[in-house]
Structure 1
Amino acid sequence: MNSEGGKVVCVTGASGYVASWIVKLLLLRGYTVRATVRNPSDTAKTEHLLALEGAKERLKVFKADLLEEFSFEQAIQGCDAVFHTASPVKFTVMDPQTELIDPAVKGTIDVLDTCRKISSVKRVILTSSMAAVLIRQPPLEPNDVVDETFFSDPSVCIESKLWYQLSKTLAENVAWQFAKDNGMDMVVINPGYIIGPLLLPTLNLSVEIIVDMVKGKNPLNCRYYRFVDVRDVALAHVKALESPSANGRYIISGQSVTINHIKETMRELFPDLCIDDMNGEGLMDGINCTMCVDKVKNLGVEFTPLKSSLRDTIISLKEKCLL
């Protein structure tokens, strides 16, 4: 499947960090894009999309909400494919069911059910997360090799009060069940922590990790981190549409590196940035296993080097006065 003939696609949650890049890439490749946002009149959510190359001719913004039944129908009608990226991203919540789980799960079912009813839709690409892969009991060990067959255990997420991870796991689980029950052609992308330049004007949670590190914090209190570039994640989504043989899940996650390596790299790139040292005592190793990314590489995705991602992230943060 390619963009020849001006294919029409829908991107849900289009104002988000990854979704904005998916929209940008689709427009550059000649697609007509229908972008859904909760509030089209909020310029902070739409201005960066409307400024993209090709947007004037081939981008239309629609109002849609994950908790409003049938609200995606207008945007999806007549589309060849749908990228479902919309899902709340919060790590601190008062009411996990209302703030995270209901929008993630109910929204996914509503979007997929709309796609089922609209015969023009040939494939759905769902944005999931490594959060739906890594939370297991017993915990993953350094010698473990994680691939697309690994799924997070909802009961472990609940016991550990990992509500975001639970929302992504439950949403992906219901999506696979729905796709199976309805014979739907669905591909799922499972990215890890994403960094890289921002198109949107505000800071998102994953790039905020880099801001915290510059300020001398260790946001996850971990010795090891693994990042993937937002442009690679966006490309994986588009390749998942354009490759007829694309199927199942695709893990896209960077190599494990130490917090000290990340800080040293940032100091080397930006000697003028005052990157504070921090106490390395009491750090958790985090999930320091091996990720098998052969499948996404076979899709045609080359990984951006971490140094380039860090450089472009910090340049972008400076340009938007977020650092």
Structure 2
Amino acid sequence: MSTEREVVCVTGASGGIGSWLVHLLLQRGYSVHATVKNLQDEKETKHLEALEGAATRLHLFEMDLLQYDTVSAAVKGCSGVFHLASPCIVDEVQDPQKQLLDPAVKGTINVLTAAKEAGVKRVVVTSSISAITPSPNWPADKIKNEECWADQDYCNQNGLWYPLSKTLAEKAAWEFAEEKGLDVVVVNPGTVMGPMISPSLNASMLMLLRLLQGCTETYENFFMGSVHFKDVALAHILVYENPSAKGRHLCVEAISHYGDFVAKVADLYPNYNVPKLPRETQPGLLRAKNAATKLMELGLEFRCMDEIIKEGVESLKSKGFIS
């Protein structure tokens, strides 16, 4: 399949995954409509404009998920859309409806509506393992997979607004796809870390930074495994380019507990103030080595946890977040 000059749109292009995806798409010869929140903010634009191929094949668009005309302008003329833009807040949320739920759900519907209108052939929606877990009613003896959904009532009762936002947005996407006949595929990444192209920390890299500084939070309802930035970007391209790819795609190098991750960081970086945490930090989560079978069958070879951590920590050092 020749990608030369094929035009695709990437929403939320300035973020951790978005920057990597734009980088790999440009490398493959695509032309990219990349959306950012503010064209005047160099933190959002400069690293994208510096990518190889950007001078001739990257077009930046200022987009507000809740302003349909700005969404439609970015999607117009594209044959594919990668919808990544969605607020990610795992700390305390003051106004969940305004901060998380509306942009996630209404934003997704706006992007899909614009895609349908523009005659886009396939939309890849970036969901999350947060649309898979927390799922306390999942059978205790069964490894979590793409059939598992986060429990909306549990999220509501426990104020877990980020998993709720990702779950509602993904369900809205599937509903839209079925009703309007739009070809949608979904990627559900775990905790995404590694070398950053973007100058700003995503929530996952912030988690790694806090851990190195001694934070004892266990992220009980937010962790199911780690995955490298590049692998997540590749996963998006694989499900876009393979007509056989259907449904949801769990995207983690392995299903693991946050405690496993913490122990590995402590092992690799004994000179940092990494806390000792129990190994079982995610109640009832069964570990699995090759959990992301759908993506592996499409040819994705995941980088291991050691590599993800080392490249993540080196990236934090090179960008001056830690010494």
TM-score under structure 1 length normalisation: 0.92
User: Take 2:96 and 2:262, find their aligned partners in 1: how far apart are those partners?
Assistant: 33
Q: Does 1:162 align with 2:196?
A: no
Could you say which residue in structure 2 is the equivalent of 1:294?
293
- Residue 246 of structure 1, CA deviation: 1.2
Q: Distance in 2 between matches of 1:231 and 1:286?
A: 29
Q: Counterpart of 1:70?
A: 69
The one-character-per-residue Cα deviations of 1:7-27 (angstroms, maximum 9, x if unpaired) are 100000111111111101101
Q: Is the 8 A contact 1:3 1:31 kept in 2?
A: no
| Letter aligned with residue 230 of structure 1 | F
Question: Conserved in 1, the CA contact under 8 Å of 2:66 and 2:103?
Answer: yes
Asked if the contact 2:156–2:164 (Cα under 8 Å) also holds between the matched residues in 1, the reply is yes
What residue in structure 1 maps to residue 240 of structure 2? Answer: 241
Corresponding residue for 1:321?
Answer: 320
Q: C-alpha root-mean-square deviation of aligned residues, in Å?
A: 2.2
What is the CA deviation profile of residues 96-147 of structure 1, one whole-angstrom value per residue up to 9, with x for unaligned ones?
001000000000000100111112x100000000111122242563x32222
Residue 203 of structure 2: aligned partner = 205
User: Cα 1:261–1:115, aligned 2, differ >3 Å: closer, same or farther?
Assistant: closer
Structure 2 CA distance for aligned equivalents of residues 281 and 182 of structure 1: 47
Equivalent residue runs for 1:258-297 within 5 Å: 261-263=260-262, 265-266=264-265, 269-270=268-269, 273-278=271-276, 280=277, 284-286=281-283, 288-290=285-287, 292-297=291-296
2:185 paired with 1:187:
yes
| SS, match of residue 69 in structure 2 | coil
Distance of 1:162 and 1:122 partners within structure 2: 34
CA contact (8 A) 2:143 2:285 kept: no
- 1:282 CA displacement: 11
- 2:28 and 2:284 mapped to 1: Cα distance? 36
Query: Kindly, what percent of the aligned residue pairs are identical?
Result: 40
Which 5+ residue runs of structure 1 have no aligned equivalent?
none
CA distance in 1, matches of 2:13, 2:37: 10
The offset of 1:267, in angstroms, is 5.0
Q: What is the distance in 2 between the residues matched to 1:221 and 1:245?
A: 35
State the partner residue of 2:118.
118
Deviation at 1:206, TM superposition (A): 0.7
Separation in structure 2 between the aligned mates of residue 99 and residue 225 of structure 1, nearest angstrom: 24
2:312 is paired with a residue whose SS is helix
* Cα 1:266/1:299, change in 2 over 3 Å: same
Cα distance, 1:304 vs structure 2: 0.1
For 1:22 and 1:287, the matched residues in 2 are separated by: 33
Size of the aligned set, in residue pairs, is 318
Give the aligned residue type for 1:30.
G
Preserved CA contact (<8 Å) 2:257 2:281: no
What SS class does the counterpart of residue 173 from structure 1 fall into? helix
- Aligned-partner residue type, residue 59 of structure 1: L
CA distance in 2, matches of 1:129, 1:10: 20
Kept after mapping to 1: 8 A contact 2:152/2:167: yes
Distance 2:257 2:85 in 1: 31
Which residue identity is paired with 1:93? V
Any unmatched runs of 5+ in structure 2?
none
Kindly provide the CA deviation profile for residues 220-244 of structure 1, in whole angstroms up to 9, marking residues without a partner as x: 265x862111111110001111112
